[in-house]
Copies of this chain bind each other. A is one copy, B any other.
Amino acid sequence: MDTKSSYANLGIAESTGDDCKFCEVRACGMCSALSENELSRLHKMTQFRHYRAGEQIFCDDEPNHHFAAITSGIVKLSKILPDGRQQTIGLCFPPDFIGRAYKAKNSYYANAVTAVTVCTFPHNKFETFLLETPTLEHKLFELTLDQLDEARDWMLMLGRKTAIEKVATFLIMVATRIDKNSQLLDVAGSSQKFELQLTRTEIADFLGLTIETVSRQFSLLKQKGLIQIENQRFVEVLDMLALKEVAGMVDAI
């Protein structure tokens, strides 16, 4: 079983032809809006792709070649200023889709944070299909509304929270998001222990901070006894309520 090493170099996997049956996001992703008939029509234009951690999925200002539905892994969306400053503007988990409908160009980068697998669809064909399939458009609309809600929460964080509040907010978000997606087993029952899938640099780009400030806030949270960190990547939240207070989510008494 070395399928992993075989597709890792390619970015494109062999379509086995009946992957949808085993798809982890068949029930919740955009495909859940499709009948068997429609699904098989979509399947004909589908190409599976795999990306390794760090690989670019698409590029700012690049013509919009295809849409993609994430079936596993984490994708980050980011923007870069002319002088190189970077800001992450979205984290996508299964069953999110990536790509801008009804526009010829992307206005941001998409990169694999972890190993990622996606179903991709050619831009033109997919848009035609989308316009012919209102249930699918409805589903994408709902997913987009969720993304907008998320973006707006994030804006509050970027604009008004302090460094330690940002880091605490980030930890809570990852903890709940991982839980919701059951991406990672929460070791030891319901304890909040998880692997940080992002590097310090990625966290900093996410929070609008520098890597050093992020590191310092982690140390502060450790000092306060709210979290523990093993091997710089495995975080355990020891006091979720106190963490939420630090995150500015509840009124401190």
Contacts and interface: CB of A to CB of B under 8 A. Distances in A.
Interface in A235-249: 248-249
B152 A107 contact: yes
A222 interface: no
Interface string A206-234: 01100000000000000000000000000
A21 interface: no
Contact of A137 (B137, B152, B154): B137
B82 A249 contact: yes
Contacts of A87: 155-156, 159-160
A251 B83 contact: yes
A106 to B, nearest CB: 10
A89 interface: yes
* Copies of chain A in the complex: 2
The 5 tightest CB contacts between A and B, nearest first, are A159-B208, A134-B134, A158-B158, A151-B151, A87-B159
Contacts of A152: 77, 79, 89-90, 107-108, 151
A252 to B, nearest CB: 8
Interface string A69-86: 000000001010111011
Given A159-B208, A160-B208, A148 B149 contact: no
Interface in A150-205: 151-156, 158-161
A176 to B, nearest CB: 16
A138 interface: yes
Interface in A122-139: 131, 134, 137-138
Contacts of A103: 145
B155 A154 contact: yes
A102 interface: yes
B81 A156 contact: yes
A142 interface: yes
Contacts of A156: 79, 81, 87, 89
